[in-house]
Amino acid sequence: MATGEKVPTDQISGKFDKLRRDAYLDKRGIDPHQPFQLDLLLPDLNDSQRFIPNDYARSSLFTARNKREARRVLQHEKLFHLHEGQGISLVYTGIELRAEDDELVWLQIMHYAKHVPLGEPFEFSVKDLVRDLGWAKNGRYYDKVRESISRLKANEVLVLNDKAYGKSGAISLIDKYSAINDSEGKLTQYRVWVDPNLIVLFAGNTFTNHSWETYRSLSPVARRLADYIESHKQPFPLKLERFREMCGSTSKTVYGWRRTAREACAEIEASGIAKCVQLHTDDSIYVVNE
């Protein structure tokens, strides 16, 4: 660059963001310039848990809309976050992701990713993934997995967390993949890469762990409520409307959404995730963990 020529503002901002992320990782004992395995942060000796970054768990990244509604295509759209206005926000580009399938598929893929340095490839088959999700082993669910993996690749998520690492950098939930086809042209075996920048979303104990068998058995709305409860040590009362926004629901009536929320509360109680979860007359969900 010639002497006296101005450096673009976005370039300066990008360098500052990277320095801030690097400093954040370094304070937590993670060398930002070296490969890092997630299993060093996410110990789970019996493989019974799955992990999600808090900034994803507390947002509408994975919606719980009616499955009959078409998925939206979002272009650089700001998503709902429970702590928006407190220096945290998410911007999303891509096909709408849902709790009913994409959230589960991504958590399981991240479980596979734990065992290699972030940025290095790992492999799994469609059959293995369907089995580990607890889904039926048939063509419908194999196609469901393939479609979900495509959506997880074709997106971009930008997280801003002023209290921690600044901007995460634009991250696709799956960085890239290659695959092997069967004789009918359907993908059967995947090799997947995960973006190393995801480490900033997990560092500093900023993630939520779920009991996999329990979590995957919940309905999508109850799963979003579990994301809220388990990502907070002491969950504050959650306003019904904010929970609806967190789910990305387009429920038309307050009465209908109250009924849906009560059903989710009952599921959470029955699962043992919390001792008592109730929607009170002030339209807030109250949680008692002990």
Place of tokens 């507390």: 58
Domain's final residue, options 212, 227, 253:
212
Q: Which two tokens stand for residue 35?
A: 């490969």
The residue type found at 84 is E
- pLDDT above 60 (res 1): no
The larger pLDDT score, comparing residue 43 to residue 112, is at 112
CB atoms within 10 A of CB 208: 20
- pLDDT above 80 (res 6): no
Q: Are 113 and 227 in a shared domain?
A: no
The larger pLDDT score, comparing residue 228 to residue 3, is at 228
Q: Are 110 and 230 in a shared domain?
A: no
What's CA 199's distance to the chain center, in Å? 13
Looking at residue 227, what is its pLDDT?
97
DSSP 189: E
- CA-to-CA dists, residue 187 to 94, 144, 148, angstroms: 22, 12, 12
Measured CA to CA, the distance from residue 51 to residue 208 in angstroms comes to 6
CATH number of the domain that residue 224 is part of: 1.10.10
pTM of the predicted structure, to 2 decimals: 0.93
Domain's final residue, options 212, 233, 252:
212
Total tally of structural domains belonging to the chain: 2
For the segment 60-107, what is each residue's pLDDT rounded down to a tens digit? 999 999 888 999 999 999 999 999 889 999 999 999 999 999 999 999
Looking at residue 43, what is its pLDDT?
81
- pLDDT above 80 (res 2): no
**239: domain range?**
218-290
SS3 content of the chain, % helix, strand, coil (to 5): 40, 25, 40
Place of tokens 């890092």: 36
What's CA 213's distance to the chain center, in Å? 17
In the chain, where does DSSP find H-type helix?
9-27, 54-57, 102-113, 126-133, 139-153, 199-202, 212-216, 220-230, 240-247, 254-271
Looking at residue 260, what is its pLDDT?
96
Q: Which residues contact 43 (CB under 8 A, 6 or more apart)?
A: none
Q: Are 223 and 158 in a shared domain?
A: no
Domain's final residue, options 168, 186, 212:
212
Q: Are 42 and 175 in a shared domain?
A: yes
Q: Which two tokens stand for residue 142?
A: 């194999």
Q: Which two tokens stand for residue 246?
A: 């967190």
Measured CA to CA, the distance from residue 69 to residue 268 in angstroms comes to 25
Looking at residue 9, what is its pLDDT?
58
- pLDDT above 80 (res 164): yes
For the segment 250-281, what is each residue's pLDDT rounded down to a tens digit? 988 999 999 999 999 999 999 999 999 999 99
Expressed in angstroms, the distance from the first to the final Cα of the chain is 62
Comparing CA positions, the residue from 107, 71, 105, 82 lying closest to residue 225 is 82
Q: Are 103 and 162 in a shared domain?
A: yes
